[in-house]
A and B are shown apart, each in its own frame.
Chain A
Amino acid sequence: AQSVTQLDSHVSVSEGTPVLLRCNYSSSYSPSLFWYVQHPNKGLQLLLKYTSAATLVKGINGFEAEFKKSETSFHLTKPSAHMSDAAEYFCVVSVNNNDMRFGAGTRLTVKP
């Protein structure tokens, strides 16, 4: 069975500083990995996905994530945080895009 662990429930950064949201996964098979963002009162939006192609994945709004099989990690990064990045972020693992398992989420706060 697959699962994800988001290592931080809350991350706070200052505007213009780097963002790092950590995610470790567990999967018996070659997984697909996703990061979704959820803004208050809005639906979940896909930021990026890894599906066994390039290990460094670039997503929307300047976010990227690197798949590291040796570390079973898929951390989300952004070089410079913007106020509009404040939201809840979910790491997701799936096999064959069917059974998607969400992490508990990381709330990102961006201070002016």
Chain B
Amino acid sequence: EAGVAQSPRYKIIEKRQSVAFWCNPISGHATLYWYQQILGQGPKLLIQFQNNGVVDDSQLPKDRFSAERLKGVDSTLKIQPAKLEDSAVYLCASSRPRDTVEREQFFGPGTRLTVL
């Protein structure tokens, strides 16, 4: 089966600019996650969707970050305006629905964001 797709793979912007990342999960995976991985650290969950509804966004900096999954499939994560500390790899993952026993998360290759 095809894996989780993300684009772009790399992005360089200046601070105060806006940026958007796209994720296409594995077909049939109802749950989608966005993680932020700062250099030298483990991934940190930003937001979790179940279909097109938000399950957990407690660690999402809502003053500048937003995410949507309008049709319950693809998702976009936006940052506006970007700050220097947003430089990180943004990972998307997907898994089967919350009521499924086997809910391994499958990760995409990530988008490396550099904010200058």
Contacts and interface: CB of A to CB of B under 8 A. Distances in A.
B1 interface: no
A15 to B, nearest CB: 26
A36 B93 CA distance: 13
Contacts, number: 43
Contacts of B40: 104-105
A43 B42 contact: no
Which of A46, A97, A102: most chain B Cβ within 10 A?
Answer: A97
A49 interface: yes
Contact of B95 (A49, A92, A97): A97
Interface stretch (B13-21, B62-70, B73-81, B105-113): B105-113
A98 interface: yes
Contacts of A42: 109
28 contacts: A36-B107, A41-B109, A42-B109, A43-B3, A43-B4, A43-B91, A44-B91, A44-B93, A45-B107, A46-B104, A46-B105, A90-B43, A97-B95, A97-B103, A97-B104, A97-B105, A98-B48, A98-B55, A99-B45, A99-B56, A100-B45, A100-B105, A102-B43, A102-B44, A103-B42, A104-B40, A105-B41, A105-B42
Interface of A is mostly: strand
Contacts of A98: 48, 55-56, 98
Contact of B42 (A45, A49, A104): A104
Interface string A21-44: 000000000000000100001111
Given A42-B109, A43-B110, A90 B104 contact: no
A42 B91 CA distance: 11
Given A97-B95, A98-B98, A99-B56, A43 B107 contact: yes
